[in-house]
């Protein structure tokens, strides 16, 4: 660093750099902007320390607070003398902007003349917007992606709040008077809690309702996130059709589906393929929020769907569609719209590379509910998970299957991770069934193990944490006396599922034992329990729910930690036999014995 600073101070005055060595020049530019940040950080303090590249040392300045900024911009130590260095000038300008925007934020009204046009720097990758140029995007850290946008400030800035106020006010005739604080009992008296939520009919509707916390709440703003292509538009089109039909409440009503990504014909084509033919579903293709809300006004729909929030924009707001300001302001406009009109609004949001919606997670705290749609690339199953829900639990999970004509609710979601039943699985060693929970849902998962003696020793695990697998193998060797040392061990979780819970430990151990002992486990036995370092079986949460799922699916035996027997006492599991075991040795002696 020191050497770099020295070098910088030496060559800093030579204009040769930019022309002869563009790479080095770029490096210096980054270095230069880092220095600028240093100044900016201390811009509100009385004492500021800056690095002076000419002397190569840190210089502390004491400046009276009110004059501080002016002093810094007058005696800018980084103002390169060469006026033909365009890049250097650019840096200077952005520095000027930074000072200016600092003023704006802290309420000082200096530099009024210059505030007519304002530059913002928007990352072309993630949409992050900054008031000044940095060598890299401070959000996604990619270099060279910050592009300059100049915004003419006409003094009357638009915000999502203003737009929705304007539209909603012209819409609602009643000047409902001033809002005053109300007693909670009075508020609740006016609401019929049974009919408060809008029910969604049919198996598909039930599955969506479940994730929403029991139905659609009037005036709610719901964000549906997910990877591109996972099926968000398909899901929303189906939900829109159900709301429009309104079977549960007996009368159809308009629903407006707005797409900024597809044309009306494209959506219509898709709807046709999915056999959606309700009269009340209206499609519209637009990206302008004011236009969309204006059209919604005419239609007065039962619900509004925006596909997607990254494609819509608000006139007068800085940045391009998908940028942080646009996304924020558009969401704010839609939030006000939903709250004022009691029309539920759904937003579709693409998840970016980093896993966030619209770069930073700006939307999550604005909206009422965030649902994520997940799916494996090669599996037709889709999970809809509540990540945040102001009107219900986030424990809920919807399970769907993508079919050629849209999403369908899965009839028996507990079994989606099971492989097809083989008639010969009775004789296949190395398979064991685990029971895991996801939210409030129970899933049975098949775990496979293969112990191959004599081959070059290796361990491959798929869907199980490598550390956890190592631990279970070591415990089997040490505490249960299995001679696994000379075996290559492979573990696999069927269907590409991942075992995240320790409740699957026992099934992993059982699968390894089964393969090692060449003793097939009958396919009607399930295993629930955590394995401790002493080989003991430990309790896991929600035992009752897990065991009852296993019973419902027709399993005959379920191996659980002995401590669980107490909590399961007195419960009726039909034909299921619950076997309590203290440790792995006991499991081996119970399961891996020939029936007399």
Q: How far is the CB of 458 from ligand TYD (least distance, A)?
A: 37
- Comparing CB distances to ligand TYD, the nearer of 230 and 347 is 230
For residues 335 and 107, the answer to whether their CB atoms sit within 8 Å is no
Q: How far is the CB of 240 from ligand TYD (least distance, A)?
A: 12
Q: Which stretch binds ligand TYD (CB under 6 A): 60-68, 212-220, 223-231, 429-437?
A: 223-231
- Comparing CB distances to Mg ion, the nearer of 42 and 233 is 233
DSSP labels for 6-54?
A: HHHHHHTT-THHHHH-HHHHHHHHHHHHHHHHHHHHTTTSSEEEEEETT
Going 325 to 344 to 170 to 253, the CA torsion angle's sign is positive
In the sheet that 303-307 helps form, which strands lie side by side, from edge to edge? 281-285, 255-259, 303-307, 345-350, 221-226, 369-375, 381-389, 397-403, 406-409
Q: How far is the CB of 460 from ligand TYD (least distance, A)?
A: 31
User: 32: closest CA among 48, 17, 44, 46?
Assistant: 17
Q: Residue 574 burial (CB < 10 Å; 0-12/13-18/19+)?
A: exposed
Is 408 a residue that touches ligand TYD (CB under 6 A)? no
Name the binder of 230 from Mg ion, ligand TYD, none, CB < 5-8 A by kind: ligand TYD
- Comparing CB distances to Mg ion, the nearer of 211 and 224 is 224
Is 441 a residue that touches ligand TYD (CB under 6 A)? no
User: 332: closest CA among 296, 289, 378?
Assistant: 289
224-253 residues in contact with ligand TYD (CB under 6 A) are: 226, 228-234
User: 240: closest CA among 304, 298, 165?
Assistant: 304
Cα separation, 47 vs 61, in Å, equals: 6
Tell me the sheet residues that pair with 565: none
Name the binder of 234 from Mg ion, ligand TYD, none, CB < 5-8 A by kind: ligand TYD
Name the token pair of 454.
């004599």
Kindly state the number of chain residues that form the binding site for ligand TYD, as judged by CB under 6 A. 15
Is 378 a residue that touches ligand TYD (CB under 6 A)? no
- Cβ-closest residue to Mg ion? 233
> In the set 11, 253, 264, 402, which binds ligand TYD (CB under 6 A)?
402
To which residue do tokens 């720097």 refer? 121
- Comparing CB distances to Mg ion, the nearer of 363 and 435 is 363
- Comparing CB distances to Mg ion, the nearer of 233 and 341 is 233
CA 260 to chain centre: 21
Q: How far is the CB of 484 from ligand TYD (least distance, A)?
A: 43
Name the token pair of 297.
């006004």
For residues 505 and 468, the answer to whether their CB atoms sit within 8 Å is yes
For residues 430 and 450, the answer to whether their CB atoms sit within 8 Å is yes
**Which residues of 65-187 form beta strands (DSSP E)?**
117-123, 129-130, 146-152
Is 382 a residue that touches ligand TYD (CB under 6 A)? no
Pairing state of beta strands 431-438 and 525-527? Answer: parallel
- Comparing CB distances to Mg ion, the nearer of 33 and 233 is 233
Name the binder of 160 from ligand TYD, Mg ion, none, CB < 5-8 A by kind: none
- Comparing CB distances to ligand TYD, the nearer of 239 and 480 is 239
Pairing state of beta strands 369-375 and 381-389? Answer: antiparallel
Is 428 a residue that touches ligand TYD (CB under 6 A)? no
Q: How far is the CB of 306 from ligand TYD (least distance, A)?
A: 12
To which residue do tokens 């009204």 refer? 109
- Comparing CB distances to Mg ion, the nearer of 18 and 233 is 233
- Comparing CB distances to ligand TYD, the nearer of 226 and 319 is 226
- Comparing CB distances to Mg ion, the nearer of 229 and 541 is 229
> In the set 322, 406, 463, 529, which binds ligand TYD (CB under 6 A)?
406
- Comparing CB distances to ligand TYD, the nearer of 236 and 510 is 236
> In the set 75, 273, 361, 582, which binds ligand TYD (CB under 6 A)?
273
Q: Could you give the count of Cα atoms lying within 13 Å of 54 in the half-sphere of its Cβ? A: 9
- Comparing CB distances to Mg ion, the nearer of 233 and 583 is 233
Q: Which stretch binds ligand TYD (CB under 6 A): 38-46, 116-124, 269-277, 554-562?
A: 269-277
Residue 144 vs residues 130, 323, 347, 506: alpha-carbon distances, Å: 14, 17, 31, 51
Binding interface with Mg ion (CB under 5 A): 233
> In the set 274, 362, 409, 568, which binds ligand TYD (CB under 6 A)?
274
| Per-residue binder mask for ligand TYD (CB under 6 A), 291-330, x = binder | ----------------------------------------
DSSP labels for 253-293?
A: --EEEEESSS-HHHHHHHHHHTT---TTEEEEE--BHHHHH
Q: How far is the CB of 262 from Mg ion (least distance, A)?
A: 7
Is 405 a residue that touches ligand TYD (CB under 6 A)? yes
| Whether the bond into 308 is cis, omega within 30 of 0 | yes
Is 568 a residue that touches ligand TYD (CB under 6 A)? no
Name the binder of 182 from ligand TYD, Mg ion, none, CB < 5-8 A by kind: none
- Comparing CB distances to ligand TYD, the nearer of 10 and 273 is 273
Cα dihedral 303/309/312/316 (nearest 10): 110
Is 409 a residue that touches ligand TYD (CB under 6 A)? no
Q: How far is the CB of 171 from Mg ion (least distance, A)?
A: 29
Q: How far is the CB of 326 from Mg ion (least distance, A)?
A: 18
Residues that bind ligand TYD (CB under 6 A): 226, 228-234, 270, 273-274, 402, 404-406
């Amino acid at each position: 660093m020191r050497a770099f600073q020295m070098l910088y101070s030496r060559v800093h005055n030579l204009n040769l750099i930019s022309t002869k060595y563009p790479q080095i020049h770029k490096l210096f530019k980054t270095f230069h902007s880092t220095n600028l940040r240093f100044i900016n950080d201390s811009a509100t303090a009385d004492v500021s320390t800056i690095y002076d590249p000419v002397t190569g040392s840190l210089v502390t300045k004491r400046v009276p607070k009110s004059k501080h900024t002016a002093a810094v911009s007058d005696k800018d130590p980084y103002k390169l003398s060469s006026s033909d260095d365009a890049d250097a000038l650019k840096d200077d300008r952005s520095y000027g902007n930074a000072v200016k925007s600092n003023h704006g934020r802290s309420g000082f009204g200096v530099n009024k003349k210059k505030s007519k046009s304002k530059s913002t720097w928007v990352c072309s990758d993630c949409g992050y917007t900054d008031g000044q140029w940095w060598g890299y995007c401070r959000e996604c850290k990619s270099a060279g992606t910050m592009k300059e946008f100049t915004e003419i400030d006409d003094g009357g800035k638009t915000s999502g709040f203003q737009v929705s106020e304007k539209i909603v006010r012209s819409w609602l005739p009643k000047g409902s008077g001033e809002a005053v604080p109300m007693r909670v009992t009075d508020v609740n008296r006016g609401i019929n809690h049974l009919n408060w939520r809008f029910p969604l009919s049919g198996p598909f509707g039930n599955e969506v309702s479940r994730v929403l916390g029991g139905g659609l709440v009037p005036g709610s703003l719901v964000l549906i996130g997910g990877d591109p292509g996972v099926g968000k538009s398909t899901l929303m089109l189906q939900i829109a059709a159900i709301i429009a039909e309104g079977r549960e409440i007996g009368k159809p009503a308009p629903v407006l589906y707005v797409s900024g990504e597809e044309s009306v014909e494209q959506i219509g084509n898709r709807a046709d393929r999915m056999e959606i033919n309700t009269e009340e579903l209206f499609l519209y293709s637009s990206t302008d929020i004011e236009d969309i809300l204006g059209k919604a006004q005419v239609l007065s729909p039962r619900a509004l769907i925006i596909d997607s929030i990254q494609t819509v924009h608000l006139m007068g707001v800085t940045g391009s569609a998908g940028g942080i300001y646009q996304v924020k302001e558009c969401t704010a406009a839609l939030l006000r719209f939903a709250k004022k009109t009691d029309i539920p609004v759904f937003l579709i949001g693409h998840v970016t590379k980093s896993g966030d919606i619209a770069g930073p997670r700006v939307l999550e705290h604005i909206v009422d509910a965030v649902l994520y749609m997940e799916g494996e690339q090669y599996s037709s199953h889709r999970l809809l998970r509540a990540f945040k829900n102001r009107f219900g639990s986030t424990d809920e999970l919807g399970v769907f299957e993508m079919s050629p004509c849209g999403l369908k609710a899965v009839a028996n979601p507990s079994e989606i991770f099971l492989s097809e039943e083989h008639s010969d699985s009775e004789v296949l060693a190395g398979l064991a069934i685990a029971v895991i929970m996801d939210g409030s849902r129970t899933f049975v998962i098949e775990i496979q193990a293969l112990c191959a003696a004599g081959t070059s020793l290796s361990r491959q695990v798929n869907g199980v944490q490598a550390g956890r697998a190592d631990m279970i193998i070591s415990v089997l060797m040490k505490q249960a006396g299995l001679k696994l040392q000379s075996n290559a061990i492979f573990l696999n979780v069927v269907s590409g599922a991942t075992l995240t819970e320790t409740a699957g430990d026992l099934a992993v151990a059982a699968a390894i034992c089964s393969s090692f002992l060449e003793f097939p486990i009958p396919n009607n036995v399930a295993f629930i329990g955590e394995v401790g370092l002493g080989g003991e079986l430990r309790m896991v949460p929600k035992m009752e729910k897990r065991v009852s799922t296993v019973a419902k699916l027709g399993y005959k035996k379920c191996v659980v930690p002995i401590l669980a027997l107490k909590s399961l006492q007195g419960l009726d599991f039909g034909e299921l036999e619950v076997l309590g075991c203290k440790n792995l040795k006991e499991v081996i002696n119970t399961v891996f014995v020939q029936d007399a």
